Structure 1
């Protein structure tokens, strides 16, 4: 069951599929690292765990990236904050400023709406078919005990309150990584998330954590190959926390 909140992509029959960790407006640095892995825009695809904007110097390039035919992202909590900031009557200006939102706050109203509308088109979850099975992508974690539970919950959304109950987990939840829960997601080959910065990518069961602070001084982007589930740089067996 696919909803407007969940997008599915068929297997890439001609090139490679990668997922990248949180970008946070560091698109120029991302382009350098894509060149290093010889990313081919003609046949390869790049998926993103979200948090495309805030903190970095090129957040205003986000619409250009959303429109690239080979780039596909889910919403992260920073997209959510940006969208909510632009909503009429919002009172979270100081909170959003503290979280890197100055780039959007300083724009004229019509520009803010354009950016918010573009980010609102992004799904909350992506499914990608691979030879080894289905791989899921969300920003922070799944909602419920299985991927199917989450998709069903999205299908039943008929109010903002119901949507918020699901997205609180999908966009914000750190329970799995903070408790180092290795139980995994039983109905998926793998699930890929970002949200919590680590020094090196790591896996808890079949949940791959790939935010390695490409937006931080001294950090780098992690690319996870969806066919092989191998990452660049290689993942570690234990969590190595990064100070955000």
Structure 2
């Protein structure tokens, strides 16, 4: 039976007055590569924080390390579509999951599977972080509405279960904005950070930052400083954001 836990769907973090805040793209079981990117950026786990757009598991060799990372007090991910498979492992489309990198999960014992489901069920759908320049949001794939206030209301007090499912689906799966090159942005935020679609370099559409640069595949991990909104490594000034 899938475990149901009442947890906030949106989580808020106060400003980091001691160190820096970063956001990173999809991890997909490549925590060693992410750690190397953090070390190259001079990340200090004592005062710095890392926010993740989710998809912690599948496709890479270190999926089992996800629980160790979730125990780190400075690591804060949202739930991606692959993470959601774990939450609903006994009712999801298992064939589709396995075809997209989920076979590692079938090798776990039932208690191990349940442990993953419990931890991943606690991941919020959205995160908002106070920064000196204004509020920054984190979602895995996209914001399905035009304003952050509206999304917050949809997540906290949905009109119906059907409406909530539609919102969650788009938060974790939608590629509409990046595919259309939509620059209208999301009102009520300084910036929204998303992943889900692998790109050759980060893309900025309005105030929406797409930071999955395929560090889990053949690309690299981008770290976005949430105070300066500068990427490490920097964005190539050449135009275009071809998918990886």
Shorter-chain TM-score range: over 0.9
Number of equivalent positions: 237
Does residue 79 of structure 1 match 2:83?
Answer: yes
The residue aligned with 1:162 is 163
1:143-183 residue CA offsets vs partner (Å, 9 max, x unmatched) = 21111111101122376433311111100111110000111
Please state how far the C-alpha of 1:33 moved relative to its aligned partner: 1.2
The residue aligned with 1:115 is 116
The residue aligned with 1:191 is 192
The residue aligned with 1:37 is 41
Residue ranges of structure 2 left out of the alignment (5+ in a row): 1-6
Contact 2:138 2:194 in 1 (8 A): yes
What TM-score comes out, normalization by structure 2 length? 0.93
Relative to structure 1, the CA distance from residue 212 to residue 163 in structure 2 (aligned partners, 3 Å threshold; closer, same or farther) is same
Tell me how far apart the structure 2 counterparts of residues 173 and 61 of structure 1 sit (CA, whole Å): 27
Q: Which of 50, 53, 61 is the equivalent residue of 2:54? A: 50
The residue aligned with 1:60 is 64
Residue ranges of structure 1 left out of the alignment (5+ in a row): none
- SS class of match (1:213): coil
Contact 1:82 1:96 in 2 (8 A): no
1:220-239 residue CA offsets vs partner (Å, 9 max, x unmatched) = 00000000000012225644
Tell me how far apart the structure 1 counterparts of residues 75 and 32 of structure 2 sit (CA, whole Å): 15
1:160-209 residue CA offsets vs partner (Å, 9 max, x unmatched) = 43331111110011111000011111211000000000000110011000
Tell me how far apart the structure 2 counterparts of residues 99 and 17 of structure 1 sit (CA, whole Å): 30
Please state how far the C-alpha of 1:131 moved relative to its aligned partner: 0.6
Contact 1:157 1:163 in 2 (8 A): yes
